[in-house]
Structure 1
Amino acid sequence: MLIVALVLAVIGLAALVMAVVTSNELIAWVCIAASVIGVVLLIVDALRDRSKSDAGEAAEEDAVPDATDDVEDYPDEAPVAADYDEAPVAAERADEDPPRS
């Protein structure tokens, strides 16, 4: 439809030039008619495109599952090493004497 509107715009421009050069009223009306038809086609095309995008978004929303169902809650802060049982064991090993060679 956009190509048809473009062709009508070219026809309207050519008719406008011809109407001005020849001072012919009939050619001027052809220019006006071509312009009006082109604008109507552009409006219809824009409305169809909008309705297709709205329908596509609605179908996409129906197809996508709710993402909040699979969310895991992670703590905001990293755990502190003193909270684990392994920390005292590591501290005891550090207190031991190093092996003698």
Structure 2
Amino acid sequence: MLIVALVLAVIGLAALVMAVVTSNELIAWVCIAASVIGVVLLIVDALRDRSKSDAGEAAEEDAVPDETDDVEDYPDEAPVAADYDDEAPVAAERTDEDPPRS
């Protein structure tokens, strides 16, 4: 449909030039008619495109799962470090064989 509107724009421009050069009223009306039809086609195409995108967004929203399915419950209070003292790793003792750390 956009190609048809482009062709009508070219026809309208050519008719406008011919109407000015020849001072022919009929060609001027052809220019006006081609322009009006082209604008109507552009509006129809824009409305169709908008309705397609609205339908696509609605379908996309339906396809997305609820966000509440992926929610994880976290405890209200963080665990206290004293609860894990028994499980804390013991620091390795340094021996003479170990190279010095820089």
User: Do both proteins adopt the same fold according to a TM-score greater than 0.5, normalized to the shorter chain?
Assistant: yes
Q: Decide whether aligned partners of structure 1 residues 17 and 97 sit closer, same or farther in structure 2, where only a CA change above 3 A counts.
A: closer
Larger helix share, 1 or 2: 1
Asked whether the 8 Å contact 1:19–1:25 carries over to 2, the reply is: yes
- Unaligned runs of at least 5 residues, structure 2: none
Q: Find the counterpart in structure 1 of residue 78 from structure 2.
A: 78
Query: CA deviation digits over 1:14-65, x for unaligned, max 9?
Result: 0000000000000000000000000000000000000000011111111111
Q: Is the 8 A contact 1:81 1:87 kept in 2?
A: no
Q: TM-score, normalised by structure 1?
A: 0.76
- Using the aligned pairs only, state the percent identity: 98
Q: Which moved more, 1:36-45 or 1:86-95?
A: 86-95
Give the Cα–Cα distance (whole angstroms) in 2 for the partners of residues 72 and 10 of structure 1.
Answer: 61
Mind listing any 5+ residue stretches in structure 1 that lack a counterpart?
none
Q: 1:44 to 1:93 in 2, by over 3 A?
A: same
**Relative to 1, partners in 2 of residues 1:10 and 1:88: Cα closer, same or farther, differing over 3 Å?**
closer
Distance 1:22 1:80, change over 3 A: farther
The alpha carbon displacement at 1:88 in A equals 8.0
Does the residue aligned with 1:99 lie in a helix, a strand or coil? coil
**Kept after mapping to 2: 8 A contact 1:5/1:38:** yes
TM-score (norm 2): 0.76
Over the aligned positions, Cα root-mean-square deviation in angstroms equals 5.6
Change beyond 3 A, Cα 1:83–1:92: farther
Partners in 2 of 1:24 and 1:100 — Cα distance? 97
Deviation at 1:69, TM superposition (A): 1.5
